[in-house]
A and B are shown apart, each in its own frame.
Chain A
Amino acid sequence: MTAAATLAKNRYVPAALGVLSFVVFIALIELLIRVGVINRFIVPMPSDIIAAFPRVIMEEEVLHRFLLTAGEAFSASILVTIFGVAGGVLLHRYNLLRLATETWVAAVAAAPLVLMYPLYLVIFGRSALTIVMMGFTAGLAPIILKTLEGLMGTRRVLINVGRSFNLTRSQQFWKILFPAALPTIFVGLRLGLIFSLINIVGVEFLINFGGLGQLINELAERYDLPGTYAAICFVILVSVCVFIIMERLERWLRPVD
């Protein structure tokens, strides 16, 4: 066995190597900015970004904004999960509905839905509801499509096992189809939630309202680049939180594939 293969089996080495790679990358960026290869007026130095954190936290109410964006993301996640999975189940259940709408749903998944924000502003006003609904709209199509794919992709033999045990339609769904489709549904949820979060922060930025997106907008307007990047780090933190919850949920629902 090679040394690399031995190290890969160690519990801590891969994680430590990942952190080290990140630190080296940041140090490299710092170095390239200091020697003038990268323009410091376009990309701020990582050390300046780190230095900006206390200021952003203390002066810009970042905790409040973080919770606001996280709350919007959480609300959109709940909505998008309920309606997305239900939509996929409906398309799976009714073949005519699937044939009639699947192409349209796929087209919506690829559309730049963020451009609908003026319409949502008119409908819901300049409020958190507009932002949540934009997140919901953006995340819906991939979840519907992946739920449908997961249900359609359930192996025939598993369905036949259910039939051989004389399962009711409801048992067939909850005991076989749904658990079999879960890994694919979660791929859809991850995709949908990425789209939701991008749109939530994007719309906050565009309409200058609410949480971290608005903060990024304000800091960028002030040309406070280290502060802007520090605020972006908090957006990444929201994303990390959402994904940790998703991962835990998936492991709980389906312990081993």
Chain B
Amino acid sequence: MAAVTVPLGRVDAGAPRVTPAQTGSEQAILVVDDIVKRFETPDGVLTAVDHVSLSVSPGEFVGIIGPSGCGKSTLFNVIGGLLDGYEGTVRVAGERVRGPHASIGMIFQEESTFPWRNVIDNVAFPLEIAGLPKAERYDRARHFVKLVGLDGFERRYPAELSGGMRQRVSMARTLAAQPKILLMDEPFASLDEQTRLLLGDKVLQIQQELKQTTLLITHNITEAVQLSDRILVMTYRPGKVKRMVEIKLPRPRTSEIVSSEAFGRYVAQIWGDLREEAGRGMEDEEARKLREGEHR
């Protein structure tokens, strides 16, 4: 099937173009530059994301990992344009983007299929919004349903599918919009480990086929190493870049790679970075619970 770009949203074409010198990466399709996001809370101002910068090359798979409360989801929402009021810039293919835009497709952690639409209508949703004729959008939707391995389930409703199948429907729906960048926020968090590994295989297969630039937010080290070319490790609150780890595992990969020695070394290395941060997160959470108890 020929790749067709479907206009789904707006990109701020009037924004200043980013030069390679500014991004630090000549090839980057996504540049996240010096993002700072603060929230007002009853305890004062909370810095969720603190001067985070990142550039992603076309076709690259980058994982962002960190303990709970490190600002991963905040970063996901900032890059996806669902959050505003932040410092710094997000640029896609050199153009500054503000708010939700066609260049970035988002897959959410929570179950996000539309229960009132069957599989094919869920997947065809962005094409319907784009105003494609019915026959054409169903034709394209069928392609993406097949891509995620759900052919034969086109007329089923989400309630008739398993959690893993529903997440694949969400993935097909986002891919159907043909975004330049696929942004995933812990898409397999609610699934069991075996399903998660198998769906990881499916993601690898799709990424291989579409050469899809992907940014994966996760707290699962195995998942991050299995899928990513590079992993950005974040600190616990405020969320800063602690380290960027390059994963030099051969591609194409499958879930079998998790049993390799090199895979284990990467997992150990990242856990070494994360352990201290996760410990800080846990202590902070316990202290907060204690304070809440005292207030009661």
Contacts and interface: CB of A to CB of B under 8 A. Distances in A.
B66 interface: no
Interface stretch (B37-45, B111-119, B243-251): B111-119
Interface stretch (A16-24, A41-49, A175-183): A175-183
Interface string B95-110: 0000111101110111
Contact of A155 (B81, B110, B118): B110
Given A165-B126, A166-B100, A157 B177 contact: no
B80 interface: yes
Interface in B97-153: 99-102, 104-106, 108-112, 114-116, 118, 125-126, 129
B129 A182 contact: no
B287 interface: no
B278 to A, nearest CB: 26
B9 interface: yes
A164 B116 contact: no
Contacts of A257: 115-116, 159
A109 B105 CA distance: 44
Interface string B1-43: 0000000111000000000000000000000000000000000
A232 to B, nearest CB: 38
Contact of B9 (A157, A165, A182, A254): A165
A165 B116 contact: no
A163 interface: yes
Nearest to A256: B157
Contact of A256 (B105, B159, B177): B159
A182 B177 contact: no
Given A175-B129, A256-B159, A164 B111 contact: no
A164 B159 contact: no
Contacts of B160: 256
B82 interface: yes
Nearest to A160: B82
A166 B115 CA distance: 20
A161 interface: yes
Assign chain A's interface to a size class: 20 to 34
Contact of B115 (A160, A163, A171, A256): A256
B112 A167 contact: no
A160 B101 contact: no
Classify the secondary structure of B's interface with A: loop
A255 interface: yes
A161 B112 contact: yes
A254 B115 CA distance: 9
Given A157-B111, A176-B114, A164 B82 contact: yes
Given A157-B111, A171-B129, A256-B157, A163 B100 contact: yes
A174 to B, nearest CB: 11
Assign chain B's interface to a size class: 20 to 34
Interface string A91-120: 000000000000000000000000000000
A165 to B, nearest CB: 5
Interface string B166-179: 00000000100100
Contacts of A180: 114-116
Nearest to B109: A157
A158 interface: yes
A165 B268 CA distance: 38
Interface string B58-93: 000000000000000000000011100000000000
B197 to A, nearest CB: 24
A167 B177 CA distance: 13
B100 A165 contact: yes
A166 B112 contact: no
A54 B121 CA distance: 52
A167 B116 contact: no
Nearest to B173: A161
A255 B116 contact: yes
Interface in A162-209: 163-167, 171, 175-176, 179-180, 182
A165 B101 contact: no
Given A164-B80, A165-B177, A175-B125, 7 more contacts: A157-B108, A157-B111, A163-B81, A164-B81, A164-B82, A164-B104, A165-B129
6 contacts: A165-B9, A165-B125, A165-B177, A166-B9, A179-B114, A182-B116
